Amino acid sequence: MRSIKNVTLTGLAVAIVGGILLTGCSGSGTGSKADSASAANSAGEDNTLMGAGASFPNPLYSKMFSEYNKTTGLKVNYQSIGSGGGIKGLTDKTVDFGASDAPLTDDQAKAMSAPAIHIPATAGAVVLSYNLPDVKDTLCLSPDVLAGIFLGTITKWNDAKIAAVNKGVKLPNMAIMIAHRTDASGTSNIFTTYLTKVNKDWETKVGKGSSVNWPVGLGGKGNEGVAGYIKQSPGTIGYIELAYAIQNNMAYAKIQNKAGNFIAPSIASVTAAANIDIPADGKVSLTNTDAPDGYPISGLSWVLIYQEQKYNNRTADKAAKMVKLIQWMIHDGQQYSAALNYAPLSAKAVAVGDALLKTVTYDGKPVAQ
């Protein structure tokens, strides 16, 4: 397949609609954020919080913030600009909180003027969605096949290696086109971390990260952009968050996990992958799970805030409202997860989040009540 790099595609609006999970293998199956934040802070508008970052949890966060506004009157302006954008916004202190599907790297943490903490907020699946109109079966992909597709060594849908794990499925003699993220993306980090764990060629030639040098493919901005490109372009495969695939009635593959089972992404299979001990700092990878019923490309998404909240003329009231919002997100807000195809946080993750929030201070004094 011919390599095409640095092509940015226009993101499509994602309609939030209901959906059902696909079935078995071979069976039927916006303005300046910095200026807005600065204006809000300088005007002392403590009833509005500015957030930016990951598109992975955006459907869930949109619902959470809408419901929270109904009961508290607090406005949350969240910009779905990718994890890298959220981290930059927090680093520059132009947002009240960032959101990322990848923990801060050492260099990112050092670039911040003060320590930031990671609050686990949700768990979800990165799915391999494809557009093959004449294929009615749910495709299965093994780790080596998946890596071969994204390395550009498997270029046709009827390749023998794809056929070997999809016996009985009539695969088209069609070129494979790839859609990947162009922006710094936590979704990319989850996907490339998984590929690095399961394929040596990927580990040595590409590696993992929020931004990598993709061997082949076309780029789209955000989960929204990649989903839109896949939906419009037959023969395309790309990685997106589960909610975007379901909301847009898009097909997605079962992925073979470490136990050798082909697992469909679902709330149950992400919950199985996330049923692990969470370290005290909240940072952990869920990819390539040992759970026999776990989906192997699962990941947490975090809300990032500064541990010390007295900066940039922020008020104690604003700090308190932000901590209360995040507390609500990891407790009562989890009730909205399942309907939008996110896995509710485990009790262990919630406990870690609560403990981290208790370390947040304003002028050295605890903010949480």
Strand duo 75-80 + 97-100: pairing: unpaired
Q: Residue 231 half-sphere exposure, CB side, CA atoms within 13 Å?
A: 20
Q: In this structure, is residue 141 part of a structural domain?
A: yes
What is the predicted pLDDT for the residue at 25? 61
Q: In this structure, is residue 114 part of a structural domain?
A: yes
What is the predicted pLDDT for the residue at 46? 78
Cα four-point dihedral sign 142, 105, 33, 363:
positive
Contact 269/294 with Cβ under 8 angstroms?
yes
What is the predicted pLDDT for the residue at 45? 59
Binning pLDDT at 50, 70 and 90, where does residue 182 land?
A: very high
For the chain, count helices (H), then strands (E): 13, 15
Binning pLDDT at 50, 70 and 90, where does residue 15 land?
A: very low
Contact 37/221 with Cβ under 8 angstroms?
no
Composition of the chain by helix, strand, coil, percent to 5: 35, 20, 45
What is the predicted pLDDT for the residue at 363? 97
Contact 254/139 with Cβ under 8 angstroms?
yes
Pair (22, 54) in one structural domain:
no
Q: Which structural domain, as residue segments, surrounds residue 333?
A: 33-124+299-366
What is the predicted pLDDT for the residue at 72? 97
Q: How many CB atoms lie within 10 A of CB 288?
A: 19
What is the predicted pLDDT for the residue at 24? 43
Binning pLDDT at 50, 70 and 90, where does residue 369 land?
A: confident
What is the predicted pLDDT for the residue at 34? 41
Strand duo 8-9 + 218-220: pairing: parallel
Pair (209, 317) in one structural domain:
no
Pair (81, 134) in one structural domain:
no
Rg (CA), the chain: 20
Here the CATH number for the domain that contains residue 103 is: 3.40.190.10
Contact 255/146 with Cβ under 8 angstroms?
yes
Mean pLDDT (whole number) for 164-173:
97
| pLDDT higher than threshold 50 for residue 35 | no
What is the predicted pLDDT for the residue at 117? 98
Binning pLDDT at 50, 70 and 90, where does residue 198 land?
A: very high
Pair (130, 55) in one structural domain:
no
Which is nearest to 75 in space by CA: 94, 103, 96?
A: 96
Pair (41, 90) in one structural domain:
yes
Contact 131/234 with Cβ under 8 angstroms?
yes
Q: In this structure, is residue 250 part of a structural domain?
A: yes
Which is nearest to 49 in space by CA: 74, 19, 16?
A: 74
| Overall number of domains in the chain | 2
What is the predicted pLDDT for the residue at 21? 34
Cα four-point dihedral sign 187, 191, 196, 202:
negative
What is the predicted pLDDT for the residue at 55? 92
- Terminal CA-CA length for the chain: 57
| pLDDT higher than threshold 90 for residue 75 | yes
Q: In this structure, is residue 292 part of a structural domain?
A: no
| pLDDT higher than threshold 50 for residue 252 | yes
What is the predicted pLDDT for the residue at 109? 96
| pLDDT higher than threshold 80 for residue 322 | yes
| pLDDT higher than threshold 80 for residue 36 | no
Pair (204, 330) in one structural domain:
no
Among 229, 257, 274, the domain-final residue is: 274
Mean pLDDT (whole number) for 148-156:
98
Q: In this structure, is residue 109 part of a structural domain?
A: yes
Pair (188, 238) in one structural domain:
yes
Q: Please give the Cα distance from 145 to 111 (Å, whole number).
A: 38
Cα angle, residue 256 at apex, residues 101 and 17 outer, rounded to 5°: 55
Residue type, 295: Y
Pair (195, 328) in one structural domain:
no
| pLDDT higher than threshold 60 for residue 17 | no
pLDDT tens for each residue of 96-123: 999 999 999 999 999 999 999 999 999 9
pLDDT tens for each residue of 50-61: 999 999 999 999
Mean pLDDT (whole number) for 304-329:
97
Is 293 exposed, middle or buried, given 0-12, 13-18 or 19+ CB atoms closer than 10 A? middle
Mean pLDDT (whole number) for 279-305:
97
Binning pLDDT at 50, 70 and 90, where does residue 227 land?
A: very high
Q: Compute the mean pLDDT over every residue in the chain, rounded to the nearest whole number.
A: 89
Contact 96/48 with Cβ under 8 angstroms?
no
Phi, psi of 147 (to 5 degrees): -65, -40
| pLDDT higher than threshold 50 for residue 324 | yes
Q: In this structure, is residue 281 part of a structural domain?
A: no
| pLDDT higher than threshold 70 for residue 20 | no
Mean pLDDT (whole number) for 139-164:
98
